Amino acid sequence: MTRFIRTTALFGASLAGLLLLSACGKSEPAAPASTLAPSATVAAPLPAPATTATAAPASPSTAASLAPAASAPSAAAPVATPLTVAKVILGSDVNAEHQVTRASNRFAPNDKAIYASVATEGSSEGATLNAKWSFLEGQGQLVSNISQSIATDGPAVTTFKVQNPDLWPAGKYKVEISLDGKAVAKQDFEIKKS
């Protein structure tokens, strides 16, 4: 019987400590967005909101320790800013963070890949970024149309990649970036023989 009382008292004290910590606004900071592959960026998931379980107090002393925690004011949730595209940078190489290392709007026909690093600001639990790559010469031609989902709570970089195993035709091109179906940025570039 004494063991049961001690276990119940320990459980009650642990629950009271948990309630005190959750009432004072302690929480883990959200992880920054990170990239997974040169052609995709996925932000780290947001931590789950803290939940507390309530149980019947085991003894009068435990009930007294729970009362102050229940009446403590809770911290106000910060206001989230909507996700926006800050800038688009083109280049033929990216670093370990999947950001373009040398910006350029002019590429050679033998460049195998062209990257578009799309910097975003704000937060979103789920948005869709799209990169539509087009060849503008003649009647125009769709080269690639790539969509990626993004969930972030702060600045992030999403990298799109378009490849050609053969030589790129010389001429003018563009990439259009849209956020949740709405065009938000475009970048013209050119493939030119040296």
User: Which distant-in-sequence residues (6+ apart) come within 8 Å of 74 by Cβ?
Assistant: 23, 25
Q: Per CATH, which fold does 84-191 belong to? A: Immunoglobulin-like (2.60.40)
- The residue ranges of every structural domain in the chain are 84-191
How far is 179 from 152, CA to CA, in rounded Å? 14
pLDDT of residue 79: 65
Q: Across residues 109-133, what is the average pLDDT? A: 94
- Burial code (b: 16+ CB inside 10 Å, e: under 16) for 9-31 equals eeebeebbeebeebbeeeeeeee
**What digits encode the pLDDT tens for the residues 133-181?**
999 987 889 999 999 999 999 999 999 999 999 999 999 999 999 999 9
Judge whether 175 and 160 are in contact, CB under 8 Å. yes
How far is 69 from 49, CA to CA, in rounded Å? 18
Global pTM? 0.59
The half-sphere exposure of 133 on its side-chain side, counting CA atoms within 13 A, is 18
Q: Where are the alpha helices (DSSP H) in 106-188?
A: none
Q: What percent of the chain has pLDDT over 70?
A: 59
**What digits encode the pLDDT tens for the residues 31-58?**
333 333 333 333 333 333 333 333 334 4
